[in-house]
Amino acid sequence: MIELIRPKVLSKGDKVATISLSWGGAGELPHRYAKGKERLEKIFGLEVVETEHALKSATWISDNPKARANDLMAAFLDPSIKAIISNIGGEDSVRLLKYIDINIVKDNPKIFLGFSDSTVTHFICLKAGLSSFYGTSLLVGFAENKEMHDYQVQDVFRTLFTASPIGRLVPNSQGWTTEYLDWFDTSLQNVQRTLIPSTGWHFIRGNTVVRGPLIGGCIEVLEMLKGTDYWPDLAVWTGCILFFETSEDMPKPEYFRWWLRSYATLGILEGAKGIILGRPYDNLYVDDYEAELLRILDEEGLYNLPVITRMDFGHTCPSFTLPYGRLAEIDCVNNTFSILESGVC
């Protein structure tokens, strides 16, 4: 089981730092970055600063993993910074690991928010004993085309700006989108993406109510962490509700099967209390992923493990935020999902 420190709650006027830990998209897309920053300031009342190299070019960011790691350490060390927000994901945050001073993170707990390749940074926080937040990034949810989704705004306030229990989460009644609009075409910034009506979350297995702390991430990125010093011992995974999601690369179902089978081999599935799965990009392979997941659970004799799929987190917009280590509940009797604790204190 996980016991993680809760970071301090955000308040209007707090200073937050934006950071580029993987792809240098913020430096390549100044108009979109400016829009996300503006909304953090106007909607949430935050003071936004950039880490030293946050707005460097994508090539520079790629060539300098140590500088990215130093930006992260500096943001944790700066007592004036109350939260660190990832600008965007990418594919090579794992290159930062050899430059990380875990004690800096451990001794300076604060909010870290991001998803996708930020899974690496979440597992840095996990190793340091800090609860972090698997949620949207600046260039995605905060800089959403035309305007932020109200579902996203309410999620951020509920998760990061109040120390009350997060409570029951529900699908976005207005629908979801992964529609591609070219971020480099500035004329599209004010074009709203089409929302697809939600069919709700799918409770595909289980008939009980289970509770457990949350742990997981982008399943492709998790593969890069296996075998490193940042991969948790089995005891950390045991008794947890696992959350998995796939990226815009839309991995084929057989890869999803193989990855899940490795979790079975490691004993992680057997020790889990339940599994929640994010909606895949463009809803591609949604039926296949569900079939593969049930296939692996059947292979392991886990016929009653609660499973919810097609949920609003990860590479879908708008999304809700998952705080690592906080107690969650899957209720297969009433078909509900709740986070029973606050994410911040």
pLDDT for 277 beyond 80: yes
Q: In sequence order, which residues have a C-beta less than 8 Å from that of residue 256 and are 6 or more positions away?
A: 219, 246, 285, 288, 289, 292, 293
- Calculate mean pLDDT across residues 244-256: 97
pLDDT for 118 beyond 70: yes
Q: Which fold has domain 169-339?
A: Glucose Oxidase; domain 1 (3.50.30)
Distance CA 130, CA 109 (A): 6
Q: How confident is the model at residue 81 (pLDDT cuts 50, 70, 90)?
A: very high
Burial pattern 294-319, b for ≥16 Cβ within 10 A else e, equals: bebbeebebeebbbbbbbbbbbbbbb
Domain boundaries in the chain?
15-165, 169-339
Distance CA 142, CA 115 (A): 13
- pLDDT at 72 (0 to 100): 98
Distance CA 213, CA 329 (A): 9
**Mean of the per-residue pLDDT values of the chain:** 98
Q: Do domains 15-165 and 169-339 have the same CATH topology?
A: no
Residue 244: left (phi > 0), alpha (psi -120 to 50), or beta? beta
- pLDDT at 84 (0 to 100): 99
pLDDT tens, 296-322? 999 999 999 999 999 999 999 999 999
Kindly state the percentage of the chain with pLDDT values over 90.
99
- Calculate mean pLDDT across residues 194-199: 95
Strand partners, 119: none
What DSSP assignment string belongs to 215-269? EEEEHHHHHHHTTSTTSPPHHHHTTPEEEEE--TT---HHHHHHHHHHHHHTTHH
Q: Which H or E element spans position 34?
A: helix 30-42
pLDDT tens, 21-75? 999 999 999 999 999 999 999 999 999 999 999 999 999 999 999 999 999 999 9
Domain at 15-165, CATH from 3.90.230.10, 3.40.50.360, 1.10.3110.10, 3.40.50.10740: 3.40.50.10740
Distance CA 107, CA 130 (A): 10
- Token pair recorded at residue 293: 């997941």
- pLDDT at 232 (0 to 100): 97
Distance CA 37, CA 34 (A): 5
Q: How confident is the model at residue 2 (pLDDT cuts 50, 70, 90)?
A: confident
Before 79, cis peptide (omega within 30)?
Answer: no
Q: How confident is the model at residue 1 (pLDDT cuts 50, 70, 90)?
A: low
Whether residue 332 contacts residue 206, with contact meaning beta carbons closer than 8 Å, is answered with yes
| CA pseudo-torsion sign 233, 296, 199, 197 | positive
What DSSP assignment string belongs to 280-327? PGGGTTHHHHHHHHHHHHHHTT-TT--EEEEES-SSSBS---EETT-E
Q: What is the pTM of this model?
A: 0.98
